[in-house]
């Protein structure tokens, strides 16, 4: 838990803009990101629990059933929101691009989701995935050459420490 908290604090520090407005408007993107990440973590724990709860089948079959069911529920809820709850969106929803392309992504999504993340316990797996933040900073730095602020450097150090502790445990 300590390693996960250290890495999360590192991500928050990296996301903050130094010298920005000190009001909530400056923290709003960071707060929304943390809320979205918390909801994603809860859904990952829920998916993992659902996969484990499927009796009498292999892990891959249970993960496939769970992911297909989850995608079906998400599609049904979002379709309902777009077509029924917000009638003004109905035209835009029906005018969406190539449905065959969308169907291909919908069919392939369970395969993509059934990756290394579904085989491990969610909290350490997602904390270890914070390495992606480091890669994004590295690509940004080498591509655009932005100046690295002290906040960003400190956040990166905390992410490395958190991930290092997580791997060491």
At residue 7 the predicted structure's pLDDT band, cuts being 50, 70 and 90, is confident
- Whether 37 contacts 52, CB under 8 Å: no
Percent of the chain with pLDDT over 70: 67
At residue 161 the predicted structure's pLDDT band, cuts being 50, 70 and 90, is very high
- Listed in sequence order, the DSSP H helices in 16-98 are 24-53, 59-80, 90-94
pLDDT digits (tens, 9 = 90+) for 78-115: 777 777 766 666 666 666 655 555 565 555 555 555 55
Mean pLDDT, range 42-61, rounded to an integer: 86
What does pTM read for this prediction? 0.57
Report which secondary-structure segment, H or E, holds 103.
helix 99-113
Min mean pLDDT across 25-29, 47-51, 139-143 is at 25-29
pLDDT, residue 116, reads 46
109 against 30, higher pLDDT: 30
């Amino acid at each position: 838990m300590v390693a996960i908290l250290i890495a999360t604090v590192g991500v928050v520090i990296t996301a903050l803009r130094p010298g920005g407005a000190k009001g909530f408007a400056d923290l709003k993107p960071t707060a929304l990101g943390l809320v979205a990440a918390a909801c994603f973590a809860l859904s990952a724990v829920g998916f993992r629990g659902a996969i484990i709860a499927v009796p009498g089948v292999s892990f891959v079959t249970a993960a496939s059933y769970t992911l297909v069911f989850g995608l079906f529920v998400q599609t049904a809820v979002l379709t309902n929101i777009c077509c029924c709850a917000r009638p003004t969106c109905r035209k835009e929803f029906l005018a969406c691009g190539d449905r065959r392309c969308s169907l291909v992504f919908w069919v392939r999504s369970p395969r993509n989701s059934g990756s290394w993340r579904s085989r491990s316990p969610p909290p350490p797996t997602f904390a270890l995935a914070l390495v992606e933040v480091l890669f994004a900073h590295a690509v940004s730095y080498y591509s655009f050459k932005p100046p690295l602020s002290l906040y960003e450097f400190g956040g990166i150090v905390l992410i490395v420490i958190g991930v290092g502790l997580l791997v060491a445990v």
